[in-house]
Amino acid sequence: MTRPRADLLSARGMRAPEGPLAPRPFLRETVRYGAAPAALVLLLTTALAGAGLALPWALGRTLDLLLGPDRAAAGPWLALCAALTGASVLLGALDGLVTATANARTTAWIRARVLGHVLAAGPRAALPEGDLVARLVGNAAQAGPVPATLAATLAAVLTPVGGLVALALTDGWTALALLAGMPVLALLLKVFVRKSGDVGAAYLRVQGEIAGRLGEAVEGARTIAAARSAERDEARILAPLPELSRQGHRMWRVTGRSTAQASALLPLLQLTVLAVAGLRLADGALSVGGMLAAWRYAVLATGTGVLVGQLNGLVRGRAAADRLAEALTPPVMAYGVRQLPDGPGALEFRSVSTGPLDDVDLYVPGGAVAAVVGRSGSGKSALAAVAGRLTDPDRGTVLVDGVPLPELSRQALRREVGHAFARPALLGTTIGGTIAFGVDEPGPREVRAAARAACADDFVRRLPLGYDTPCAEAPMSGGEAQRLGLARAFAHCGRLLILDDATSSLDSATEHRVSRALLDELTPGTRLIVAHRVTTAARADLVVWLDGGGVRALAPHDELWRLPEYRAVFAEETEAEEAR
């Protein structure tokens, strides 16, 4: 049975909108941020609307004077018409400049706000990379103009309302003729806003799904090439394309139908006003200039094209803001203010439950090298993640030298706890900058020492510019990239260093040299190593054997090797590595 949309969103940690007028905190936050430039946009568009409303009255008065006996009196009125026209052009240009600047400023803020939250939330940010990029690029560009568009919409409402009021002041009968058709126009606008909002949200959702699948394929391009499954993966990526096409056609149908209906209704209303004005002119109740003003005010009062465009922009911006708000769902990790006391880096788990791990109690003495082993899915990476507080456990506490990790300041945590991963991200501009990247950037001497410990110095020196080589100009194998990740971890090595499968791409000789550096060359401290090779576990002081959601044993490798179940763990890992 298909689950309701609200249940699906709840399962992903997201909140379903409660309706078109449901509270949208992120949208309100965006509007507040862009309030200052939006106020200037409102001032300019209001002045532009005022000039537009004054011009028909001035034109009508000028025409009456030109048709009357005293044509000389029309001179000042002609000057006024020219001034209003010039003011409209100038205000329109300023409005365009301010609006573009405001939109760019708000869009940049949205991207910084969402990206900052995603980075602060860490691994708990559940959106696929491709989908997240689509939201940060496309959806942010649609949500950014919302504050300025909202201000422009308020001014856009002023034009038809002001046109109707001016029409009533010019001649009441023409205003009544126009009012007779306004309920139908209001109904068309209401239907358009509702339908375009639903279609826009569906289109953005499918677009994000395609982007997410594309991002996964780009990340696994080598696997796809090796498996010769390019055609199958292409079909998988483009599978939602028919739905995207269907939603796109729906969007065009909604827009086209609304445009056609408005195109049929608005000229009819304007012709009705013009006919009534002609009858009033024949009766002598309206002058020729008054008839011209009445017709122009009727055009302004029914000129909802700009208003529809602004409403369409608001609807699309609201849907885009809702998608961006989903990226803000994972909570940001909070930090304390404490510093670590002097100590060797003792690591302790107290009743920790996270992922496959349930109620884990563990104590790794300070200065020890502990290898974490276990079958696939036993929770090795989950243990490593909570040990360095890349994420918090669902229950329980992790402590370093007796201090709970959540009580440490961000700087203290990242200064004292280092990480290396199987597939490190090379975030620096240059190779040297990549190794130095972190809270406290080490100097060139420390960078080179860390590279030597990670067996990366030799291949870095062979690059055209050595450590100054841009990362984009330094093609590397998986093992070389992994050694740079190790060098970065070694350069920031505090009292606790965590290696999560960070030597899987190294050959045995290089892995042996790196292990020796871990034991002999780095700053003393605790080492927690997710191990898949028996040689890594053999060099460790202790082995943390995970099995069945907990720690089955904590003992030296030599003692555990006597157990057939322990030896079977490495047999499985060897088979998996050979299969890869």
Shared domain for 297 and 358, answered yes or no, is no
Shared domain for 77 and 142, answered yes or no, is yes
Instruction: Indicate if the alpha-carbon torsion angle 49, 54, 59, 60 is positive or negative.
Output: positive
Q: Is residue 336 assigned to a domain?
A: no
Shared domain for 447 and 504, answered yes or no, is yes
**pLDDT category, 186, cuts 50, 70, 90?**
low
Shared domain for 379 and 240, answered yes or no, is no
The Cα 367–Cα 37 span in angstroms is 57
Cβ pair 420, 498 in contact under 8 A: yes
164 vs 335, higher pLDDT: 335
Which of the given ranges, 186-190, 235-239, 474-478, has the highest pLDDT on average? Answer: 235-239
Place of tokens 């009445």: 294
Q: Is residue 248 assigned to a domain?
A: yes
Of 326, 358, 382, at which residue does a domain stop?
Answer: 326
580 vs 542, higher pLDDT: 542
Identify the CATH number of the domain in which residue 144 sits.
1.20.1560.10
Per-residue pLDDT of 435-446, as tens digits, reads 888 767 778 888
What's the mean pLDDT in 19-31? 70
Of 291, 326, 361, at which residue does a domain stop?
Answer: 326
Shared domain for 301 and 355, answered yes or no, is no
What whole-number percentage of the chain has pLDDT above 90?
A: 25
- Whether residue 370 is predicted with pLDDT greater than 90 in this model: the reply is yes
Supply the pLDDT for residue 23.
47
Per DSSP, the three-state class of 511 is: helix
The Cα 432–Cα 434 span in angstroms is 5
CA 30 to chain centre: 14
Per-residue pLDDT of 112-155, as tens digits, reads 999 888 888 876 666 777 778 888 888 899 899 999 998 888 87
Identify the CATH number of the domain in which residue 456 sits.
3.40.50.300
Shared domain for 141 and 241, answered yes or no, is yes
Shared domain for 321 and 358, answered yes or no, is no
The Cα 104–Cα 148 span in angstroms is 11
What's the mean pLDDT in 306-318? 77
Supply the pLDDT for residue 428.
79
- Whether residue 516 is predicted with pLDDT greater than 60 in this model: the reply is yes
Judged by phi (left if over 0) then psi (alpha if -120 to 50, else beta), residue 506 lies in: beta
The Cα 332–Cα 120 span in angstroms is 5
Supply the pLDDT for residue 19.
39
Q: Is residue 149 assigned to a domain?
A: yes
What whole-number percentage of the chain has pLDDT above 70?
A: 86
The range of the structural domain enclosing residue 471 comes to: 347-579
Of 273, 297, 326, at which residue does a domain stop?
Answer: 326
Shared domain for 162 and 272, answered yes or no, is yes
**pLDDT category, 109, cuts 50, 70, 90?**
very high
Report DSSP letters for 282-341, one per residue: HTTSS-HHHHHHHHHHHHHHH--HHHHHHHHHHHHHHHHHHHHHHTT-SPPPP---B-PP
- Whether residue 496 is predicted with pLDDT greater than 70 in this model: the reply is yes
Supply the pLDDT for residue 7.
36
Supply the pLDDT for residue 271.
75
Shared domain for 300 and 351, answered yes or no, is no
Shared domain for 320 and 412, answered yes or no, is no
Supply the pLDDT for residue 506.
79
Supply the pLDDT for residue 222.
67
- Whether residue 259 is predicted with pLDDT greater than 70 in this model: the reply is no
Per DSSP, the three-state class of 128 is: coil
- Whether residue 265 is predicted with pLDDT greater than 70 in this model: the reply is no
- Based on its alpha-carbon atoms, the radius of gyration of the chain, rounded to whole angstroms, reads 34
Q: Is residue 333 assigned to a domain?
A: no
Judged by phi (left if over 0) then psi (alpha if -120 to 50, else beta), residue 348 lies in: beta
Q: Is residue 154 assigned to a domain?
A: yes
Q: Is residue 342 assigned to a domain?
A: no
Shared domain for 414 and 317, answered yes or no, is no
Per DSSP, the three-state class of 526 is: strand
The Cα 115–Cα 122 span in angstroms is 11
Supply the pLDDT for residue 181.
66
179 CB-contact burial (10 Å; exposed 0-12 / middle 13-18 / buried 19+): middle
Supply the pLDDT for residue 328.
87
Q: How many domains does the chain have?
A: 2
Q: Is residue 222 assigned to a domain?
A: yes
Supply the pLDDT for residue 421.
85
Closest CA to 333 of 384, 381, 388, 389: 389
Q: Which amino acid is at 461?
A: R
Report the chain's mean pLDDT, rounded to a whole number. Answer: 81
Supply the pLDDT for residue 99.
92
What's the mean pLDDT in 458-474? 87
Q: Is residue 341 assigned to a domain?
A: no
**pLDDT category, 291, cuts 50, 70, 90?**
confident
- Whether residue 15 is predicted with pLDDT greater than 60 in this model: the reply is no
Shared domain for 569 and 497, answered yes or no, is yes
Which of 75-89, 93-107, 270-284, 539-553 is the least confident region? 270-284
- Whether residue 266 is predicted with pLDDT greater than 90 in this model: the reply is no
Please list, in sequence order, all residues whose beta carbon lies within 8 angstroms of the beta carbon of residue 105, skipping any fewer than 6 positions away.
Answer: 34, 37
Strands 496-500 and 526-530: parallel
Question: What order of strands is seen across the sheet that includes strand 542-547?
Answer: 417-421, 496-500, 526-530, 369-374, 542-547, 550-555
- Whether residue 407 is predicted with pLDDT greater than 70 in this model: the reply is yes
451 vs 16, higher pLDDT: 451
